[in-house]
Copies of this chain bind each other. A is one copy, B any other.
Amino acid sequence: MFVPLTPVRFLHRAMDVFGDKVGVICGDKQFTFAEFGERCERLAAALPAHGIAAGDRVAYLSLNTHKLLEGYFGPPQAGAVLMPLNVRLSPPELIEILNHSGAKMLIFESDFAPLIPKLRESCPEIARYVGADDAPAADLTYDELIASGTPRRADIFSIDENSIAELFYTSGSTGSPKGVALSHRTLYLHGMSIAMLMRAPEIAVDLATIPMFHANGWGHAHACAMLGVPQVMVRRFDPRQVLAMIERYHATSMAVVPTMANALLNVPDASSFALDSVLDIQVGGAAASPELIERMEKLFPNAQCTAGYGLTETSPVLCYARPKKPVPRNDPHRWRRQSMTGWPVPGVELRVVDVAMQDVPRDGKTIGEIIATGDHIMDGYFRDPAGTKAAMTGPWLHTGDMAVWDEEGWVTIVDRSKEIIISGGENISSLEIEKAIYAHPAVFECAAVSAPDEKWGEVPVAVVVLKEGHRLSEQELMDFLGARLGRYKLPRRVEFRTEPLPKTGTGKVRKMVLREKYWQGHARRVHG
């Protein structure tokens, strides 16, 4: 029988099967799944009265809170689209995304209230500003919004499973923002896949460590509702506080980017916390090293710590580096394996191919591009059919990541073909940085490349050639860029050159050559 696939069903299941269980913990508040579900239903019911029709985008500027989590279920239940914004973007970037998406409502935490006057000026399509707290810049508060809706169970048969439920903007490789559109069906099947990877759901407690404005929160919101697993909101990632929360809530699982893992490892009195409840740590967002995995498994004595891999365009999970058969805890191959890109999760098919789309040999040596197909692949870039087309060959999405694979199908990323720098788990488009640098009148040519960094994995570095007779200091350029780019995108170093940059026959800057200088002594050209 055909029943529409939609993440709203995960919420219904949580309410029906786990209603009395505490489902969400946020600061000093906690909600049973029944209470949480009622709040989502109120939100869904309130949206139409505030101008949100089916298909409309509801944007969020919020760190991890129960209110953002309610956004994962409320708007989709109303046929609207959840659209959380990366709070680290600069005002011009936010404005560009809000206008590109045509969002009709913005729900924001008071931390972001100072931005609102500027947005009101520049984003004519936003009709309602909702203060998540009691922000004076808002038209109404979130509490008022949900109080105005009468809870009612959504009729899932009225949902078109192929309609869009979530929209996540990523800078992509071209420098202009791209809205990754994920359908109800895609999200349901991704959630099932993530749920399948969760251990011992009857005792599980998940820490929502990854910002939920990122890549569908890695599917945790959905999988946890489905399995009745309580989620503890981590509003800001303070490593010592996270360890304290693990101890307090007996957390069993969390997802981190390598910089978060490093931060946890560097808490001076880390081992004084009770961390034996943790069974499962997923490291993703950037490459992980065997040493990192090893140190994490030593700090968390009962945890399996494994790397994972995916893109916003893939909901996001494509791979996990879970052992296919048991490996003793002290086997050094264990950490090497578990730091690899891994093998595809359920619902995903993956290949490593040459430019003719033929599989490269599974010899662990020959480099090819990772392409992927399956249920987790996005439904396209929003309002960008050309961009969508460019990303795909038939049903295969080009990840732009260069990798090797071995006889058993284990994949390891060795380089990135797209112009992306991953710093602290955030994607940064080198083209976007270059665009901002080129805007300075003194610049003749430039390139942004990645350099390895102990803390952030990678950081952007700018290589700049000035116009003849012009002068520009590093500080002047940084001040200039500061007004144009989100802080995390700013180059950490500027290298001025007087020679023209090395180029290919077709005149493209040879970034590989520029980058080489920074990566000497590193085996791979990606770093976690």
Contact = CB atoms under 8 A, between A and B. Distances in A.
A121 interface: no
A196 B192 contact: yes
Given A12-B349, A346-B192, A185 B2 contact: yes
A263 interface: no
Given A17-B344, A20-B407, A195-B346, A202 B1 contact: no
A169 interface: no
A196 B194 CA distance: 10
A168 interface: no
A57 interface: no
Chain multiplicity (copies):
2
B202 A322 contact: yes
A3 B314 CA distance: 13
A378 B3 CA distance: 11
A315 to B, nearest CB: 10
A379 interface: yes
The residue in A1, A326, A378 that gathers the most chain B C-beta atoms within 10 A of its C-beta is A1
B1 A379 contact: yes
A346 B9 CA distance: 10
A346 B13 contact: yes
A16 B192 CA distance: 20
A330 B499 CA distance: 78
A409 B1 contact: no
A373 B1 contact: yes
A149 interface: no
Interface in A154-188: 157, 162, 185-186
A325 B192 contact: no
A463 interface: no
A196 B323 CA distance: 18
B323 A1 contact: no
A115 interface: no
Contacts of A294: none
Contacts of A2: 162, 185
A326 B3 contact: no
Interface string A216-229: 00000000001010
A377 B226 CA distance: 19
A374 interface: yes
Given A3-B375, A18-B324, 8 more contacts: A1-B375, A1-B397, A2-B162, A12-B349, A13-B349, A17-B343, A20-B408, A202-B322
Interface of A: 1-3, 5, 9, 12-13, 16-21, 157, 162, 185-186, 192, 195-196, 202-203, 226, 228, 322-326, 343-344, 346, 349, 373-375, 377-379, 395, 397, 407-409
